């Protein structure tokens, strides 16, 4: 933890290092782990739940949209769910529209709204 504090003090700590410091402090104070779910982990869990709930074709479409979104985010997909912003989702939609079609982009956007659930209803997804 001392190394993480040193990085933090120099202003060079990454988001992951900062989360680790906070999680360590929380664990010391409360004796339990502080959970920070990554975007990739959250969407992977969501897909796992959908596997048994949806038709094969629907699941394939969901999986494709999530795969494209995670590829678009690249390394940012490992960041905490708390950092995802509506601008990230909008940039993804525009990227898909440029690569494929507006219809495909809007379908992917609808899938992300479903995946993000209440977060989508509060302005995460345009």
Domain extent at residue 32: 1-36
pLDDT over threshold 60, residue 31: yes
Both 100 and 46 in one domain: the answer is yes
Q: Tell me, what's the pLDDT at 121? A: 46
Both 95 and 111 in one domain: the answer is yes
pTM for this prediction: 0.73
Confidence of residue 8 (pLDDT cuts 50, 70, 90): low
Both 2 and 61 in one domain: the answer is no
* Torsion, Cα of 1, 76, 58, 61 (10° steps): -150
pLDDT tens string 37-85: 889 999 999 999 999 899 999 999 999 999 999 999 999 999 888 888 8
Both 112 and 59 in one domain: the answer is yes
Both 52 and 86 in one domain: the answer is yes
CA-to-CA separations, 108 to 8, 24, 40, 89, in angstroms, rounded: 37, 37, 16, 10
Number of domains present in the structure of the chain: 2
What DSSP state is assigned to residue 11?
T
Confidence of residue 126 (pLDDT cuts 50, 70, 90): very low
Both 111 and 80 in one domain: the answer is yes
């Amino acid at each position: 933890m001392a190394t993480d504090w040193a990085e933090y003090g120099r202003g060079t700590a990454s988001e992951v290092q900062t989360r680790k410091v906070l999680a360590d402090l929380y664990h010391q104070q409360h004796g339990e782990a502080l959970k920070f779910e990554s975007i990739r982990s959250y969407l992977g869990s969501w897909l796992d739940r959908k596997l048994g709930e949806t038709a094969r074709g629907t699941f394939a479409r969901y999986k494709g949209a999530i795969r494209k979104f995670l590829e678009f985010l690249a390394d940012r997909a490992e960041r905490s769910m708390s950092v995802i912003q509506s601008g990230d989702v909008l940039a993804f939609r525009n990227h898909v529209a440029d690569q494929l079609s507006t219809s495909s982009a809007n379908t992917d956007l609808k899938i992300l709204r479903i995946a993000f659930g209440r977060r989508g209803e509060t302005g995460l997804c345009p």
